[in-house]
A and B are shown apart, each in its own frame.
Chain A
Amino acid sequence: MEILNKLLDKTALSTLIERFGKAGKEVYAPVKENGITDFAKVDTIDKIDFECIATKQSAKSLVFPRVEKILSFEKSYDDISVKNVDINAFPEVVALGSRPCDAAGFIPLDAIFSTDHVDEIFNARLKKLTVISISCKKADEYCFCTSVNGNPGNTAGSDILLTEISDSTYFAEIVTEKGKAILDANTDLFKDTSAIDKTPHLADVKQEFTAEAINEKLNNLFESDIWDKQALRCVGCGACAYVCPACGCFDIQDENKGNKGIRYRCWDSCGFGLFTLHTSGHNPREKQSQRWRQRIFHKFSYQMVQQKQFGCVGCGRCSRACPADMNIAEHLKEISIN
């Protein structure tokens, strides 16, 4: 659909939150608690941290929780009954105040869960999610969205994108049908406007490379020694994958007690040695450098081949979280000029 341009008073946000609550929608927004800003359920506007550049963790857990019950089972003497999780019971969720990179992250995640096999649980959650993002007026040294086809005012993945154009007003771009449904239900809050140039109101994120250039370079780099060099200091934890809005790998775990049990889907990371360990004891990615290479290749080569989508939105969370300063943007820049 064609983007609709509107104006929204900042004060109207609290009315929106109130109305979402009345309509039975759960609102998640960046909330600062114990010094950390992460997405949490809110019922009033004053809890929202609007200044945060990027929450510690991405918004992906709204559609891909770190632990998701997928079914329960029970064994009897000669039978097993399996009960799938009720996807109709998932709540309607509004992500409010997510950043354009958070919103863009849902696109590769959706591609992972909807190419070949359409994952019912993920799609049921995504269908019930409305994303109201706020453009970035600030960036930090870890942000690199402009190098991976994003930008601080990118509308991709958002249903509504708000850009602060004055102390009291947002320029609201209604991007999708879901966004339009919110507009239609709240016409008293949105005012008409012609298109506004957002650029003066956006953070300046310098483009250092292009995802296409990385994709091209990787064709000849599989056997390169850059992976060994880069991965020397990698400690092999899963922090990068777990804070990433686009990482979708998971592990299936059964937990039983007696004859009953629950099957869970849990986040997993290609950085772990266990990730590809075969039952035989053979591990096709036995070294950390091979796992790091997989991370880069998956995001910038394989996903492009399989899903026509890069697996990185340039939010920089992995680099902020890394205990060994494995800065992915720095690494990609090196690859691009290699």
Chain B
Amino acid sequence: MEEIKKIAKQLLSENKIQMVIGFEKGTANKVRPAFFKNADDVEKLIYNDTCIHNLALYLKKDICHHIANVGIIANPNVVRSIIQLASENQVKEEKITIIGISYEGKCVGILDFKAAEEFAKTQPKGLKPEDRAFIEKIQAMPLEERFNYWVETFSTCVKCYACRASCPMCYCGKCNVETNNPQWIPVASHKYGNMEWHIMRAMHLAGRCINCGECTRACPVDIPLNMLSYMLTDFVMDEFHTEAGLSTTYAPALSSYTNVDKENFIK
């Protein structure tokens, strides 16, 4: 942690960056995102293994808009998110300084985008053995049972959109659910409204989700919706042999075409 602070302080005092996005002590033994604008503030910066929020979210918020260069304390999930955002032309390298933290919590110093790509490849994904077991259980279900499982699981959704609001990849200025002419997705959080929302979101994240699990962490009713994204990541890997969050020149599987793409779905 001291090393992170040292780097952050130096960058701020040399005016190489004008703000650091990191963590501070929150309430009830929690940590929370915090924004440090000068070296003295950095004293409050903390980093421990509960600092799992995906801070890349804030790179697309108002707070970063008028800042020449933003430093960000970046664990592997944040690094992957930044790489993915870069591949979608949402962040510029000259406006971000990545202070990398490995999955073991070790500071790896400042990463440019090329170094970030290399770093991301060395870091294991946040899929825990119990997550893998859960996915296998779902995948073993017959199609109808699997569909009913998700209908049931999503039926408790209250449509607070915390999943969307906490996702760095959900950066659309106007989300599809906010379009009402035509109304693609019902606003009401009844059974089908919920199902359509989550299917739509999963489709928009297929091949783009970096599997940080932030959506599920944010969900006030603990819906394991990240599992659907994990399953789609597997699917994209199997079918297209690509993975999000590893290359700034990545072309998302569902919005790009290559001459080796299978066409066996055309019948």
User: Of A35, A241, A325, which contacts B30 at CB under 8 A?
Assistant: A325
Interface pairs (5), CB distance under 8 Å: A57-B221, A233-B32, A238-B159, A242-B158, A323-B53
Residue numbers in B under 8 Å from A274 (CB-CB): 178
Q: Which residues of B does A touch, CB under 8 Å?
A: 26-28, 30-35, 53, 57-58, 62-63, 158-162, 164-166, 178, 183, 186-190, 193, 214, 217-218, 220-222
Is A323 touching B161 in the complex (CB atoms < 8 A)? no
Q: Which residues of A does B touch, CB under 8 Å?
A: 34-36, 38, 56-57, 66-67, 140-142, 232-233, 235-239, 241-243, 251, 253, 255, 264, 266-267, 269, 272, 274, 287-288, 319, 321, 323-325, 327, 329-330
A56 to B193, CA, bound (A): 22
A319 to B30, CA, bound (A): 11
User: Of B27, B58, B62, B164, which contacts A237 at CB under 8 A?
Assistant: B164
Is B187 touching A266 in the complex (CB atoms < 8 A)? yes
Given contacts A242-B160, A264-B188, A266-B189, contact A35 B222 (CB under 8 A): yes
Is B160 touching A237 in the complex (CB atoms < 8 A)? yes
A235 to B63, CA, bound (A): 12
Is A66 touching B189 in the complex (CB atoms < 8 A)? yes
A330 to B30, CA, bound (A): 13
Residue numbers in A under 8 Å from B214 (CB-CB): 323
5 more CB-based (< 8 A) A-B contacts, given A67-B189, A232-B33 = A36-B222, A235-B57, A239-B220, A253-B187, A323-B165
A264 to B189, CA, bound (A): 10
Q: How far is the CB of A334 from chain B (nearest CB, A)?
A: 12
Is B26 touching A323 in the complex (CB atoms < 8 A)? no
Chain A residue nearest to B175 in the complex (CB): A274
Is A321 touching B27 in the complex (CB atoms < 8 A)? no
Residue numbers in B under 8 Å from A266 (CB-CB): 159, 187-189
Chain B residue nearest to A238 in the complex (CB): B160
Q: How far is the CB of B128 from chain A (nearest CB, A)?
A: 16
Chain A residue nearest to B178 in the complex (CB): A274
A66 to B186, CA, bound (A): 13
Residue numbers in B under 8 Å from A264 (CB-CB): 187-188, 190
A38 to B223, CA, bound (A): 14
Q: How far is the CB of A300 from chain B (nearest CB, A)?
A: 19
